[in-house]
Amino acid sequence: MAGSNKSRFVKPVLFLLVIGALGFGIYQGVGLALNSQSAGPERKHSLTHIVQRRPLTLSLKDQGTLESTENNEIICQVRGANIITSVVGNGTYVKKGDVLLTLDSLFIDEQISERSKYAHWSRSGAEHWRTTVKSRELAVAEYLEGRYVTELLQKELELIVKESDLLAFNEFLTFNVRQFEKGYVSADEVDLWRRRIDIHKVDLDVMSNDLSILKEHTKKSEMARLEGELKVAKAQFEASDERAEADASRRDRALEEKEFCTVLAPRDGLVIHPRAASWKWAPDIVEGGTVYKEQVLLLMPNLAKMQVKLGVVEAMIKNINVGMGVIVTLPGRTPIEAEVSEVADIARPPIIGSGDVVRYDVIVALPTLKNLKPGTSAKIEIMINHVDEVLTVPLAATIEIEDNIYCWVETEMGVEQRLLKTKPGDDVSLIVESGVRLGEKVIMNPLIYTEAPKVESEIEEKEPSETSVLGMAGA
């Protein structure tokens, strides 16, 4: 009886124990399953991509600026620093002769006044010396053809008269000597004529000497004096004339620059403000701004000949060649086909604040299109190359660690980290040379596997069996 009661008691207890054990087991199983899903990285991914071969178009996408291939540059022709007093707005359509820009001319007006005064004074001085030169030239001619000739003739005439008198005195002396011999005249009378002859001889010698001095010395001395005065007058005139010409030139240049202070449109067309390159300093073309001689003030582009300029980074410039096809997308327009027309050999100086980024100018020539405006941004896609059936992986499935490219592959044994050897692809893919095989599944959210990556020291081709196993799927 007692045994029977004990049996009736034990059976319900055993049943409860079995039920409890089963419940605990189910609880533990669920917990382990949940922990397994959250603990292992192999359970974290939700998206994979099958590695496949496909055609690939290699291209460079960038952004450039629309500009004209022919720009009529309007240059500042006024010396020094000049303040802009007015300027037409950027993108204004103008007619030939319209005022485009004006510069402050107050300083130039002062220069005109000052230079005009100096030019007047200098010219007056030059004219004075011009008259003096004429006077000195006349003095030379007057002496050679007047005073000298007159003086020479006078002295020659006096000499002739003296010589005639001497001949006459000699005849009188001879006559008196005969008369003295006959006793008609005294010896004193004969001596008197002899003294007269001696005096005439002395006078004759003096007059002959004066004549020689006149011819040999006086003429040369006077000519040297007159010609010296003439040379001085000519030098003074030349100096004064040059100074007058210089002052007049400065005045005329100031007058010309005053005209340059008002810039007129050389033709009908669009006017744009020059945009200084970001690596160069240049003042803005605005009212109140300061500009300098030879600076480009405004541009009038030829809208029938347009191009796009873009800066390509140094790493890509070696892939760009003249003649490559380009797809250009302008705002509000359907994409158009164009080609690369120019690739710069020399890089732009690095932009301040951009680090060491080096860019090269690439020009894309556009076909003739209507209603294009310089300065408009343009999306550029340069078609570098097209390859058929290459093995690719998405960029989103790769991570760069210490200059190496890695991806994670889902295998039957778990998730493996792979070191890839790649080449540039398109915007969304890389060309794979080694590291994965056709048909393998790469993880599209690889960042969850980068907490403690296995980093290889060098790039080499590895088989999936040689890669590290990070987890076991379904373990």
Write out the H or E segment, with its range, that includes residue 392: strand 377-394
pTM of the model: 0.47
The single-letter DSSP state of residue 427 is: S
How much is the pLDDT for 438? 93
Fold of 43-56+389-466: 2.40.420
Helix H or strand E segment including 399: strand 399-401
Find the distance separating the first CA and the last CA of the chain, reported in whole Å. Answer: 54
**Alpha-carbon dihedral angle through residues 381, 386, 390, 395, given to the nearest 10 degrees:** -10
Q: How far apart are CA 441 and CA 459, in angstroms?
A: 21
Supply the pLDDT for residue 356.
64
CATH 2.40.50.100 fits 78-104+262-297, yes or no: yes
H-helix or E-strand containing 174? helix 148-182
What Cα–Cα distance (Å) separates residue 98 from each residue in 109, 146, 256, 285, 290? Answer: 23, 69, 19, 18, 22
Q: Where exactly are the structural domains of the chain?
A: 43-56+389-466, 78-104+262-297, 107-260
> Quick one: pLDDT at residue 428?
86
Whether 172 contacts 193, CB under 8 Å: yes
What's the confidence (pLDDT) of residue 15? 41
Note the helical H segments in 183-286.
Answer: 187-213, 219-260
- Per-residue pLDDT of the chain in tens (475 residues, 90 and over written 9): 444 444 443 344 334 333 444 444 433 333 333 333 333 444 455 689 999 999 888 788 889 888 888 888 899 988 888 889 999 998 889 999 999 999 988 888 888 888 888 888 888 888 888 888 898 888 888 878 888 888 888 888 888 888 888 888 888 888 888 888 888 888 888 888 888 888 888 888 888 888 888 888 888 888 888 888 888 988 988 888 888 888 888 888 888 888 888 999 999 988 988 864 443 455 678 888 888 888 889 988 888 888 999 988 887 888 899 999 999 999 988 999 999 999 999 887 765 555 567 889 999 999 888 888 888 889 999 988 888 889 999 999 999 988 899 999 999 888 999 999 998 888 788 999 999 999 999 999 888 887 644 444 333 444 433 333 223 233 2
Identify the pLDDT of residue 49: 92
What integer pLDDT is reported at residue 172 of this predicted model? 84
CATH architecture of the domain formed by 107-260: Orthogonal Bundle (1.10)
The per-residue pLDDT for 281 is: 52
pLDDT at 61: 86
Q: CA 40 to CA 469: how far, in whole Å? A: 12
- Beta-strand pair 441-443/399-401: unpaired
| Among candidate residues 331, 334, 427, 329, the one with its CA nearest the CA of residue 384 | 427
Q: Is 319 exposed, middle or buried (0-12, 13-18, 19+ CB in 10 A)?
A: middle
Q: Which residues have a Cβ under 8 Å from the Cβ of 473 and sit 6 or more positions away?
A: 42, 43, 410, 412, 413, 414, 415
Instruction: Tokens for 91, please give them.
Output: 């993108």
Length of the chain: 475
- Residues 370 and 367: their CA atoms lie apart, in Å, by 10
Rounded to 10 degrees, the C-alpha dihedral 31/32/37/42 comes to 170
Q: Which residues pair with 326 in a beta bridge?
A: 338, 382
